[in-house]
Structures are given as structure tokens and as C-alpha cells.
Amino acid sequence: MISVLCLLCLSLAVAEPQSRTVVGSTNPELQQGADALLAEDAEEGVRLTLIGLRHATSKRERVVGLSNLCAGYVMLENYDTAFDYCERALEENDAHWRTYSNRAVAYIKTGQFAEAEKDLQRAEALGPDSRTVKIVRAMLLNQTNPVEPVIVIDDRRQPGDDPDE
């Protein structure tokens, strides 16, 4: 499902680089929430991410959690809440391309194509090589400029086409 693929603008590495060795995530609920969202279980992903967000120990974890909540609520088609979490993430870090990409999907889903275009331009500037941003761009183009089929196949039988006649 392409819309789910596009929503997975999630950062799975929620631990900040540290001088000591850390095995696993420093915030298991954020990691498990991201995993649930990747598995297309939006309700569980949102539930776990909300818990993880309460235990976030860094700005980066908060931004990732907020951005993932934006994606989760888009998956649940609760766009007002999704927009709220995207705004909160961007207030903390206005250079987080994943959040712009998530919000662009919400804009596409709600038919706000001009706003989606603005967010996609920002996401493309911040994450120019992101496969996810390219998929969201394709989603927007599909909505605003769908490809028309060039070849039309007419498979109706014509009189005299039956080999048994």
C-alpha cells in the first residue's frame, strides 16, 4: 500500500550518538512504536509512541516521537491531530525533513495540494536523496497530474473472430 510506505518517514534510530556504547534504543517505546507503524499497526504505534514521548530524554527523541505521531495519525486518518503533531515537531526542529514529508502526506490526503508542494520542496531541500520524499512527490503528482494511459486495448470480439466459425 503506497500511502503506508510514504507515511513511514520514521526515524528508527532514536538514540543520539554518545561516547559510550549503547546496545539497543535508549527509548524502547519509541522504537517499538516505530516498529508498529512500519508494520502498519497505527493504533499500537501511536499508543507506544505516546508512552515513549513521555520518556524522551533528548530533543531529538522528542522530534522523532512527534514526527512519528504525525505519521501515525495520518495512517488513522485523523488529520487534525496529525497536523498538530507535525507543527509541534517543527517547532522543536524546523529542519526535520521527515516531518515535512509526513505533513505533505497529510496535506495530500486532505486535498491541500499547494501546501503539500511547499512541504515537499522543503523536504527535498533538507533530504535531497530521500527515497521517501520521492515517493511522496509521486503521490502528489498522481493526485495533481495523473498519468493518462497511452495505449488502449480493445479486447472485444468482432464478428468473424471466433476460430470455431
DSSP-based three-state secondary structure for 127 = coil
pLDDT at 6: 41
Residue 93: band (very low, low, confident or very high) from pLDDT cuts 50, 70, 90? very high
Domains and CATH numbers, the chain: 2-10+26-144 (1.25.40.10)
Q: Once rounded to an integer, what is the mean pLDDT over residues 139-164?
A: 78
Among residues 40, 38, 31, which one has the least CA distance to residue 64?
A: 31
Place of cell 531529538: 60
CB atoms within 10 A of CB 46: 23
**Reported confidence tier of residue 103, pLDDT bands at 50, 70, 90:** very high
Q: What is the pLDDT of residues 108-123, one digit of tens each?
A: 999 999 999 999 999 9
Q: Is the entire prediction scored with pTM above 0.85?
A: no
Degrees to nearest 5, angle at CA 45 with 40 and 50: 160
**Helix (DSSP H) and strand (DSSP E) numbers for the chain:** 8, 0
Q: What are the cell numbers at 62? A: 522528542
Lowest pLDDT segment from 80-94, 99-113, 147-161: 147-161
Per residue in 64-76, pLDDT tens? 999 999 999 999 9
Residues in the chain: 165
